[in-house]
Amino acid sequence: MRNLTILGATGTIGRNTLDVTMRHPDRFRVVALAGGSRWEPMLELCRVHRPRYAALVAPDAAALLRERVKVEGLDCQVLAGERALAELAALDEVDTVMAAIVGAAGLAPTLAAARAGKRVLLANKEALVMAGGLFMETVRRHGAELLPIDSEHNAVFQSLPAGYDGELRRAGVRRILLTASGGPFRTMPLERFAAVTPDEACAHPNWVMGRKISVDSATMMNKGLEVIEAHWLFGAPASHIEVVIHPQSVVHSLVEYEDGSVIAQLGNPDMRTPIAHALSYPERIASGVSPLDLAAAGGLTFEKPDTRRFPCLALAYDALDAGQAAMIALNAANECAVARFLAGGLRFDHIPILIEAVVARTESGPVQSLDEALRLDAAARREATQWLERRAA
Ligand code: NAD
Ligand code: MG
């Protein structure tokens, strides 16, 4: 029996996780659910999944949830605030933590899960981008187990030898190939990028996802963040990580070996596959995903990414080269830019311009602690806000 905390339970990954656990009540017990500010969907999850604990970061929302939980006689303790998330991630009675909060907000509770030696199922890629070295060191030092949920990284994990120890050369690996769908604007004429609306950017051709990661997919910053994520997860230098566009999203990523073998993981684009894989690893369980019908899929095509169309991808490689401080600035500036774009206050094609400007003003060097990472994150957000204010003036 695995006992779970789900961080980001009300989100897309959180709900997919609960969909899988519900299929196997004999294997999984949901102990704690945590989210940001929406109390109504959290109440509904409490009714259905009966967790012992539920937490919301927003105090007012948590108070409303606490009241309703009491009125309905649910046996659930409601907590509030950021610290509560870290507490639920480190509960003694929990062995497995799904880290599916979006953005930098997920870093502290995800680190807390690693520090408590849990099995960490990592969807929150921003945490690794912000503090990859620190996070991997924490996992090692505290004997935590890290399993990737991001479909590409889960595919790479499945395509690497069992017990892979972070040394590409020792495993005989030549390259890691991350596939990218190219998002909704893969073939759109470049001159139309200026007028792209938030809803157009969020209409991903193959995946249903939260709005932030959907915009990241449209700019291909998502793939840039994933290159950095692969670097930390698999100990791979940037020169050994390549991106290939694959519009059908059936091949989820590949590993190329010295002898010329290329091993890939395939499947329908449905996050319940990597979630089920990581939940039950090393066993296999049903996920609810329909079987892949290769004949119906028809052609699988591949092409090189165009960094003129997707400058964010190149910005991410540059940040990886420049070091941890630049990666923090890249991520923070991107979060600010995407939030402003989604609010209707920034043009789609200005997202990379803002990010490049913020990263260029960043101090360089390694990052030793969570406090330092959070300080650099805050500094980059201030730069981004000033850039946006100058633009508006
Ligand atoms: P989502 O927007 O659907 O859900 C986000 C969750 O985070 C919600 O539960 C929300 O309450 C919570 N949250 C938001 N802000 C918060 C804050 N400040 N503090 C605490 N909680 C907060 O997003 P999603 O699509 O589920 O993505 C979640 C993470 O998983 C992201 O890091 C994303 O990059 C990653 N991911 C998602 C997919 C996918 O298919 N959706 C695939 C790969 C990786
Ligand atoms: Mg992905």
3-state secondary structure of 52: coil
Q: How confident is the model at residue 207 (pLDDT cuts 50, 70, 90)?
A: confident
Which of 5, 13, 33, 45 to probe ligand 1 with, by most ligand atoms within 8 A of CB? 13
Q: Which ligand does the CA of 269 lie closest to? A: 1
* Ligand 1 shell residues, CB under 6 Å: 8-14, 35-36, 38, 57, 100-102, 105, 123-126, 150, 207, 209-210, 213, 271
Mean pLDDT of 189-204: 95
For the chain, the average pLDDT equals 97
φ, ψ (nearest 5 deg) of residue 53: -135, 145
> What distance in angstroms lies between residue 124's CA and the mean position of ligand 1's atoms?
7
Measured distance CA(86)–CA(91) in Å, rounded: 9
On the question of pLDDT at 365 being above 90, the answer is no
Measured distance CA(8)–CA(12) in Å, rounded: 8
On the question of pLDDT at 309 being above 90, the answer is yes
pLDDT for the residue 104: 93
Instruction: Give nearest CA residue, ligand 1 atom 9.
Output: 8
pLDDT for the residue 364: 76
With a CB cutoff of 8 Å and minimum separation 6, the contacts of 258 are 172, 173, 174
Measured distance CA(269)–CA(121) in Å, rounded: 19
In DSSP terms, which residues pair with 257 in a beta bridge?
173
Q: Which two three-digit tokens encode residue 228? A: 């950095």
Measured distance CA(316)–CA(229) in Å, rounded: 11
Measured distance CA(365)–CA(363) in Å, rounded: 7
DSSP code of residue 256: E
Q: How confident is the model at residue 21 (pLDDT cuts 50, 70, 90)?
A: very high
On the question of pLDDT at 369 being above 90, the answer is yes
Percentage of the chain exceeding pLDDT 70? 100
On the question of pLDDT at 278 being above 90, the answer is yes
Count CB neighbours of 47 within 10 A: 13
> What distance in angstroms lies between residue 364's CA and the mean position of ligand 2's atoms?
27
Which of 15, 16, 88, 102 to probe ligand 1 with, by most ligand atoms within 8 A of CB? 102
Name the residue with tokens 């499947």: 267
**pTM (two decimals):** 0.97
pLDDT for the residue 208: 86
Q: Which two three-digit tokens encode residue 30? A: 């949901």
Q: How confident is the model at residue 366 (pLDDT cuts 50, 70, 90)?
A: confident
> What distance in angstroms lies between residue 101's CA and the mean position of ligand 1's atoms?
4
Nearest atom (ligand 1) to Cα of 124: 32
For ligand 2, a single-atom ion, the residues with CB < 5 A are 150-152
pLDDT for the residue 392: 80
Q: How confident is the model at residue 393 (pLDDT cuts 50, 70, 90)?
A: confident
Instruction: Give nearest CA residue, ligand 1 atom 36.
Output: 123
Mean pLDDT of 149-175: 97
With a CB cutoff of 8 Å and minimum separation 6, the contacts of 170 are none
pLDDT for the residue 142: 98
Mean pLDDT of 13-33: 98
pLDDT for the residue 261: 98
Which of 10, 12, 56, 204 to probe ligand 1 with, by most ligand atoms within 8 A of CB? 12
The tens digit of pLDDT for each residue in 74-131 reads 999 999 999 999 999 999 999 999 999 999 999 999 999 999 999 999 999 999 999 9
> What distance in angstroms lies between residue 105's CA and the mean position of ligand 1's atoms?
10
On the question of pLDDT at 232 being above 90, the answer is yes
With a CB cutoff of 8 Å and minimum separation 6, the contacts of 37 are 56, 57, 58, 61
pLDDT for the residue 189: 95
Measured distance CA(251)–CA(267) in Å, rounded: 7
pLDDT for the residue 363: 79
On the question of pLDDT at 324 being above 90, the answer is yes
C-alpha Rg value of the chain to the nearest Å = 20
